[in-house]
A = this chain, B = another copy of it.
Amino acid sequence: MVYEPNNWGRFGPDDQRGTLNLLTPAAVLAALASAVTGQVLSLAMPIRGATSSAAPATIPHLRGRPLPQHFMSVDGGDYAAGTRPIGAGLRMADDAVVITPHGTTTHMDALCHMWAGEELYNGHPAARVRSYGATRCGIEHAGGVVARGILFDVPRHLGLDHLPADFRVPGELLAEICDDVRPGDAVVIRTGWPLTWDRSPQEYWSGQPGLSAGAGRWLAARDVSVVASDNAAIGGLNARQLADEGLEDDLHLILLWRHGVHLAEMLWLEELGEACAGRTGRDFVFVAAPLRIEGGTGSPINPLAIL
């Protein structure tokens, strides 16, 4: 299972240099041509951290995960209470965040995030993923992502508000929505599942719709660079918030592990869905710039769609 670098820039087994971008310059230039109006949409959920209120719990997240925390280390309240300004009168606010991205906020997975057996993607030894961070396939190798984005708005195509929890999108349905997927594209799958959160967290936690293994293979065969979705795991989840597929059919293993396709999860796609519904093409410029966390298993991101 050794992949050669391909025409959009995927790194090979001996290539562990930090890439500057996931795609080649030519692919980037082609991607930029997808912008028509210049409207920019954020595809991220807010990071609502607080420690003396239930604020973080009001954002869709997997049950039991440590939610983002946000602390102000100096703020306007301090000055109201008498803190002296700096120097001639300068005042400042400063803060800190504690983030565990998987399952709690919009993020991109590093290639070291999941595997089976003793080897990561492309044969890199899993034993190099240690407490100090991953020295193979960490998120710093993703570079930036500037790619042509394609929205697959599955519920809208089916006339639904959102997919039901047990829906697994077949590859045929993806093909029906758009068969013009090219190597290096960033494929964005809308399930609409985050809409259930406002009805009740319990409904959100009752399971999640996602891609079928067949859809994963269909995408891998088209050599996409990124698969992004508004669900938590690209594939679906059962009521215990676990993937049900066997090793052969697990979506993370198919895409991330076997084919080196980066995954982005927990996006917010409602405005993008609306915007793409009212236009001819469904492609746009997809930009994601994961933080350069050395050895990180992922990074919170604020993905942008330039329409």
Binding site for B on A (CB under 8 A): 18, 20-21, 23-30, 32, 35, 37-42, 44-57, 63-64, 66-67, 69-83, 85-100, 102, 106, 112-117, 125-134, 140, 143-144, 146, 242-243, 246-247, 250, 252-253, 271, 285, 287-298, 300-304, 306
Contacts and interface: CB of A to CB of B under 8 A. Distances in A.
Given A89-B247, A293-B70, A131 B78 contact: yes
Contact of A32 (B63, B296, B306): B306
Contact of A28 (B28, B39, B66, B298): B39
21 contacts: A20-B39, A21-B40, A21-B41, A30-B38, A32-B38, A40-B143, A42-B144, A42-B292, A70-B133, A75-B134, A77-B77, A87-B243, A89-B116, A90-B250, A90-B252, A91-B114, A92-B297, A93-B297, A95-B100, A287-B287, A287-B289
Contact of A297 (B72, B88, B90, B243): B72
A28 B294 contact: no
Nearest to A36: B29
Contact of A29 (B27, B38, B116): B38
A295 B96 CA distance: 11
Given A83-B130, A96-B71, A246-B88, A304 B291 contact: no
Given A35-B29, A93-B113, A100-B73, A127 B51 contact: no
Contacts of A106: 292
B95 A133 contact: yes
Given A72-B130, A114-B90, A301-B289, A294 B47 contact: yes
Contacts of A250: 90
A296 B97 contact: yes
Contacts of A72: 71, 129-133, 297
A23 to B, nearest CB: 8
A85 B116 contact: yes
A160 to B, nearest CB: 26
Given A51-B66, A73-B52, A46 B294 contact: yes
A76 B117 contact: no
Contacts of A57: 64
A289 B304 contact: yes
Best-surrounded residue of A38, A76, A88 (most CB of chain B within 10 A)? A76
A49 B32 CA distance: 34
B126 A76 contact: yes
Contact of A73 (B50, B74, B82, B285): B50
A219 B74 CA distance: 29
A170 to B, nearest CB: 22
Contact of A81 (B28, B38, B130, B298): B130
Contacts of A77: 75-81, 83, 127, 129-131
A37 B25 contact: yes
